[in-house]
């Protein structure tokens, strides 16, 4: 009996190890939330058939991911757009309560912290520009508690100053990562287009700005340092996606999850990354639960499962900015009713029963069947999973899809436009099915 049990465990573990490795190969390095060392450790335990050790390693990894703090230092001289940059990353308007104040002259020599409104583990630190202090670079970093930050963003809205270069050199010497961000490029483009409309070329202007920044860095012996051109008012344009990818590649794997979750949904790529990060967490939870199961888990969906699914759906909607509070704000901005907005989304209705002859349980089983048909079957071979894990994946895909609908706001009105109905929406400039491109 003992030999049979051991053999069965090895077969089950071997199948899991193969599935585990294949799953993580599907994600780019910058999107993986486990380090290669952790992936190898878990695969080794699975191959050896030691499912308890594999489950324990997964638990440790998930704990590190869930508890990971992220501290981002933003420094630059007054007026460079530090506060606007911090507010943009926190997904906040300048006039919201708790937003970093903008348009003010810097008077403090102390660092100021700003927590992310939805992710308290994420803290942005507004550091006074080094030129506003009397400290040398090394003393400045010590005063600003250099060791507490995961990385530094050095901001300028014109040319990088010699003080920026000295600070970067000091950071590099202490083996911390830093990134040069050139802000307000949208202002530069606008001003040049207004002054030279007949010869204006957007790409040429951006390249000139970039070349000027690179030349400054080369003159300071920092030719291997990238510069990212950013507009805090439009994170979907310019170099923000490139900055995002670079930061993810250079962050420790266990901190990538929290980084991806806090980023605003400014592009479909950002939404996909957020979804993929959550997919990995759901899969790890499923592997952990299945590895320790002694009986098949593919049973009925109980009341506790439904309760957990409700909590999970609420969490996903919040992460993707689709919670009711966020939707109310969007509805006001679009000058549409909350009902109209929700009618174009699927996630708010996932746990409601619309048909009289169908129970919630039957509806959820349909979701499981739909997810398996799309994903190609079981999450992993050789392992029993509770249906709740399939449902979490289906919910995640649905919420991510809704986030893309919101990103492309015109999708909200397609159904109405097709049916020939006319809606006058002053705030977004839509009338008689035609969009006023001057509105934004």
Helix H, strand E, coil C: the string for 384-430 is CCCHHHHHHHHHHHHHHHHHHHHHCHHHHHHHHHHCCCCCCECCCCE
Domain assignment present for 407: yes
pLDDT of amino acid 209: 92
Mean pLDDT of 103-130: 83
pLDDT of amino acid 71: 95
Domain assignment present for 432: no
Torsion of CA 62, 65, 66, 67, to 10 degrees: 120
- Mean pLDDT (the chain) is 80
pLDDT over 70 (residue 97): yes
Tokens of 119: 């992710």
| Enclosing domain of residue 355 | 293-420
Say if residue 301 is in the same domain as residue 215: no
Domain assignment present for 186: yes
Summarize pLDDT for 180-206 with one digit per residue, the tens.
999 999 999 999 999 999 999 999 999
C-beta separation of 107 from 129 below 8 A: no
The number of folded domains in the chain is 2
Q: Kindly state the percentage of the chain with pLDDT values over 70.
A: 79
Say if residue 102 is in the same domain as residue 182: yes
Say if residue 346 is in the same domain as residue 221: no
Say if residue 82 is in the same domain as residue 190: yes
Domain assignment present for 167: yes
Domain assignment present for 386: yes
Give the Cα separation of 325 and 340 in Å (integer).
15
Say if residue 173 is in the same domain as residue 310: no
Domain assignment present for 124: yes
Say if residue 84 is in the same domain as residue 228: yes
Say if residue 190 is in the same domain as residue 302: no
Helix axes 253-262, 240-250, angle to 10 degrees: 150
Tokens of 143: 């005063």
Local structure of 72: helix, strand or coil: strand
Say if residue 122 is in the same domain as residue 212: yes
Give the Cα separation of 347 and 416 in Å (integer).
20
Among 198, 213, 233, the domain boundary falls at 233
Say if residue 92 is in the same domain as residue 174: yes
pLDDT of amino acid 412: 53
C-beta separation of 260 from 34 below 8 A: no
Say if residue 215 is in the same domain as residue 298: no
Summarize pLDDT for 29-83 with one digit per residue, the tens.
888 999 999 999 998 998 888 888 988 999 999 999 999 999 999 998 888 889 9
Q: Give the domain CATH number at 88.
A: 3.40.50.300
Say if residue 352 is in the same domain as residue 222: no
Domain assignment present for 133: yes
Domain assignment present for 380: yes
């Amino acid at each position: 009996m003992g030999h049979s049990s051991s053999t069965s465990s090895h077969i089950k573990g071997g199948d899991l190890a193969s599935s585990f490795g294949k799953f993580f190969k599907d994600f780019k390095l910058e999107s993986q939330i486990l380090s290669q060392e952790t992936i190898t450790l878990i695969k080794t335990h699975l191959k050896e058939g030691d499912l308890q050790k594999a489950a324990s390693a997964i638990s440790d990894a998930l704990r590190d991911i869930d508890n990971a703090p992220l501290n981002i230092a933003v420094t630059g001289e007054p007026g460079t757009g530090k506060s606007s940059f911090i507010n943009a990353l926190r997904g906040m308007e300048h006039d919201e309560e708790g937003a970093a104040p903008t348009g003010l002259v810097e008077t403090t020599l102390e660092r100021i912290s700003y927590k992310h409104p939805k992710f308290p583990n994420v803290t942005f630190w507004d550091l006074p520009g080094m030129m506003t202090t009397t400290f040398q670079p090394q003393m400045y970093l010590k005063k600003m508690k250099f060791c507490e930050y995961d990385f530094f963003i050095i901001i300028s809205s014109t040319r990088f100053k010699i003080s920026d270069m000295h600070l970067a050199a000091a950071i590099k010497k202490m083996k911390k990562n830093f990134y040069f961000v050139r802000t307000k490029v949208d202002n530069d483009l606008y001003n040049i287009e207004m002054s030279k409309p007949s010869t204006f070329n957007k790409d040429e202007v951006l390249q000139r700005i970039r070349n000027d920044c690179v030349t400054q860095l080369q003159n300071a012996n920092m030719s291997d340092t990238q510069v990212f051109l950013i507009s805090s008012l439009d994170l979907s344009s310019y170099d923000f996606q490139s900055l995002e990818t670079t930061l993810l590649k250079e962050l420790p794997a266990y901190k990538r999850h929290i980084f991806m979750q806090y980023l605003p949904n400014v592009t479909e790529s950002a939404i996909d990354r957020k979804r993929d990060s959550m997919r990995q967490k759901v899969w790890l939870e499923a592997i952990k639960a299945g590895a320790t199961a002694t009986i098949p888990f593919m049973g009925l969906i109980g009341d506790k499962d439904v309760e957990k699914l409700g909590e999970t759906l609420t969490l996903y909607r919040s992460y993707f900015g689709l919670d009711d509070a966020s939707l109310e704000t969007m509805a006001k901005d679009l000058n549409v009713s909350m009902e109209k907005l929700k009618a174009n989304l699927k996630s708010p209705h996932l746990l409601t029963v619309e048909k009289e002859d169908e129970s919630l349980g039957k509806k959820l089983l349909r979701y499981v069947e739909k997810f398996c048909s799309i994903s190609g079957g079981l999450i992993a071979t050789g392992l029993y999973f509770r249906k709740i894990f399939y449902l979490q994946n289906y919910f995640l895909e649905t919420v991510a899809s809704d986030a893309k609908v919101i990103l492309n706001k015109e999708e909200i009105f397609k159904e109405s436009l097709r049916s020939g109905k006319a809606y006058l929406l002053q705030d977004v400039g839509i009338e008689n099915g035609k969009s006023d491109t001057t509105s934004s």
